[in-house]
Amino acid sequence: MRFNGNRRFNSYVGYFREKYGSRLQKIVVDAGFSCPNRDGSITTGGCTYCNNDAFHPSYSTPDKDILLQIEEGIEFHQKRYRTAEGYLAYFQPYSNTYAGTETLRKRYMEALSHPLVRGIVIGTRPDCIDESKLELLSQISKDHIVVIEYGIESIHDKTLERINRGHTFKDAVDTVEKTALKGLHQGAHFIFGLPGESREDMMAYAGEINRLPLNSVKFHQLQIVTGTKMELEFDQRPQDFVQMSLAEYIDFFVDFLEQLRPNVFIERFAGELPPRFIKTNPWGFIRNVELLRLLEKRLQERETFQSRLYSL
């Protein structure tokens, strides 16, 4: 079976190219939000694996207004992604629906006022959304691209508690189902390798994702980031972490892809961080483009594809 771009999996990049006719590059925007597991609304300290500086580009800082961040982001990406014909303002750091509806409207519309910005991507938590915020995003989606990206991270409540997420998997399921009723494009983020989870625990994500009305998914391998609580946990209990070599991870993900329904788009299957933030780096300094090449090569070698073992 072949998907968009003649790939063996349903590519999110390919989906955007087919739907909108060109590459749309994300520009990270820091709108100055926080999280309820940081400010004490739920708990404090944030997620144990999280250091936002590790994926925070230099042009995106909350002391700059949103349009200036976008201008500098476009200049930054034009050197690397010359084929981009439009941009998406990616509200990424922390929880980007964690404010009143009118505050959100103002910040989203500021980003959309830039002539080269065709839409917004909202990174947030399942417990930071409600009917009024979904209605706002539904209204905006009538004239602009709107994508909501929920950080779910794991389907296992024991893991969510251990990493201090402050919400349950049921919270995520309820939110994803409510979002689907609004007809909004939604994706989710999951992490493979969280402490206490076996490969079987991780493989079980596939069945739950298949049941959720998600349009896209983004996966990362767990990377131990310096300056986090998880760094200390890893030092104290390394036996609690399943660590895979690059070859093992790619084979694991091929097994995982075979279980996924065919109509969910894969945005990313692994992540990269600036080397200065990584405590251990068993894969070496390998870029996403090379990871993607290795995945496609392995799919071909095994003569398999996304959904090969999927059944309703």
Topology (CATH) of 4-301? pyruvate-formate lyase- activating enzyme (3.80.30)
For position 62, what pLDDT does the model report?
A: 85
Task: Say if residues 221 and 182 touch (Cβ distance below 8 Å).
Answer: no
Residue ranges covered by each domain of the chain: 4-301
Rounded Cα gap, residues 190 and 153, in angstroms:
4
| Closest to 107 measured CA to CA, from 120, 123, 118, 94 | 120
Instruction: List, for residues 285-310, the tens digit of each pLDDT value.
Output: 888 889 999 999 999 999 999 999 99
Using the structure block, give the residue that is written with the tokens 């075979």: 258
Section 32-49 average pLDDT: 91
| Residue 131 pLDDT exceeds 90 | yes
For position 99, what pLDDT does the model report?
A: 96
Task: Say if residues 87 and 119 touch (Cβ distance below 8 Å).
Answer: no
For position 281, what pLDDT does the model report?
A: 75
Task: Say if residues 13 and 111 touch (Cβ distance below 8 Å).
Answer: no
For position 138, what pLDDT does the model report?
A: 98
Q: Which of 48-52, 65-69, 279-283 has the lowest mean pLDDT?
A: 279-283
The token duo for 243 is 């660590």
Rounded Cα gap, residues 171 and 167, in angstroms:
6
Is 157 strand, coil or helix?
A: helix
Average pLDDT of the chain to the nearest whole number:
92
* DSSP structural state of residue 59: T
For position 78, what pLDDT does the model report?
A: 78
For position 83, what pLDDT does the model report?
A: 64
Instruction: List, for residues 149-189, the tens digit of each pLDDT value.
Output: 999 999 999 999 999 999 999 999 999 999 999 999 999 99
| Residue 129 pLDDT exceeds 80 | yes
| Residue 56 pLDDT exceeds 80 | no
* DSSP structural state of residue 268: E
Work out the pLDDT band at 82, boundaries 50, 70, 90. Answer: low
Residue, of 18 and 165, whose pLDDT is higher: 165
The token duo for 81 is 């992604």
For position 54, what pLDDT does the model report?
A: 63
| Residue 266 pLDDT exceeds 80 | yes
| Residue 252 pLDDT exceeds 70 | yes
